[in-house]
Amino acid sequence: MRLDDSIDNSRPTSQPIAVDLFCGAGGLSYGMKRAGIAISAGIDIDPACRHPFQANVEAEFCEKDVAELSPQFLESLFPANSVRILAGCAPCQPFSSYSNESPRHNAQWQLLPKFGEMVTALRPEIVTMENVPRLRGYAVFDEFQGALRQAGYYYDYAIVRCAEYGVPQSRRRLVLLASRLGPIQMILPTHTESDFATVRNSIQHLPPIEAGRASPSDPLHRSSALSAQNLARIQQSKPGGTWRDWDEDLRADCHVKQSGKTYPSVYGRMEWDQLGPTITTQFHGYGNGRFGHPVQDRAISLREGALLQTFPKGYSFAPDRGTIHISSAARLIGNAVPVKLGEAIGKSIVTHIERFHD
């Protein structure tokens, strides 16, 4: 939003290159790559990210704790004279509406300030950060913006409706872009309500499967098993409906809090011609949100979750003959920045560099 007088105006000479902190399975990196940005490396503490990141993004994966990174190590990942892009989608759990914990008591809360320290020490030309909208209410976000201002960055952030960039979800995310080259912001939306991608366009073409089974032709098209009680519940669930559609004897105490507050969207089914819900790391469980398939009696499969996150069909999450653990694959998929949002972030950066980099 402002350019500090002390800004270093020396211009790098070559291609934009990104390093992705907290790279996960590579949703953001893959999207940025599609937008024309070369990815030099991704860093994540979770070893399960190595295969999907390397196989799909085709860049170096560093299994490291970001809290212990040095600016020198980070600098070494960028080729000399590149336009350096530092991406950092720190874990959102401490700030998420699903978390009851105070962020100050969560070690992960330290990771956003650490990202700010890296920006200040390295002074990359471009910075991008994505998180849950609630981050806006926390002091750490104010402090992060303060660090950007002090280091002389222009920056802008917005609460982005992912559906406006082609993602078939109601998901909203805070996206921040910062640059030392000039003012930067997200590109205009590519979709409006009239042409939003829907659950139907995204997953209806897949072969039917039963709860607890996988498709013989696609090991990722696999859904969690259901208890007899949950099978009876989903059989009575209507697309877009709630547990209030069920017979009394199927209702559970936890559906209604003592305060009287209800949870209408747990144990829900998706609707074909609507946006899906935000795909979380728990999307494989029918009881964890509106994750019931629109017409089949099961939660959505890993493949369906990946498609709703706009990962392409061929995205590899595990080695060919490797075992896919449902909860670990769902964590990688649900944690990701949807690829199409990553692509829109990448296009915003490419457009900005074309305009401001000489």
- Give residues with Cβ within 8 angstroms of 76, minimum separation 6: none
Angle at 201 between CA 197 and CA 204, to 5 degrees: 145
- In the bound state with ligand SAM, the residue whose beta carbon lies nearer, of 47 and 260, is 47
Per annotation, catalytic residue among 23, 49, 89, 92: 92
Q: Which amino acid is at 284?
A: H
- In the bound state with ligand SAM, the residue whose beta carbon lies nearer, of 22 and 155, is 22
Minimum separation from the CB atom of position 176 to ligand SAM (A)? 14
The H helix count followed by the E strand count for the chain is: 10, 9
Q: Residue 142 in 3-state DSSP?
A: helix
- Within the chain, what is the greatest distance between any pair of CA atoms? 70
- In the bound state with ligand SAM, the residue whose beta carbon lies nearer, of 75 and 271, is 75
Strands 60-63 and 218-222 turn out to be unpaired
Minimum separation from the CB atom of position 333 to ligand SAM (A)? 9
Distance CA 348, CA 331 (A): 27
Minimum separation from the CB atom of position 349 to ligand SAM (A)? 15
- Residue 62 a catalytic site member: no
- In the bound state with ligand SAM, the residue whose beta carbon lies nearer, of 27 and 268, is 27
Minimum separation from the CB atom of position 22 to ligand SAM (A)? 3
Element (H, E) at 301: none
Give the residues lining the site for ligand SAM (CB under 6 A): 22-28, 44-46, 49, 65-67, 89, 91-92, 108, 111, 335-337
How many Cα atoms are found within 13 Å in the side-chain-facing hemisphere of 64?
15
> What residues are labeled active site?
92
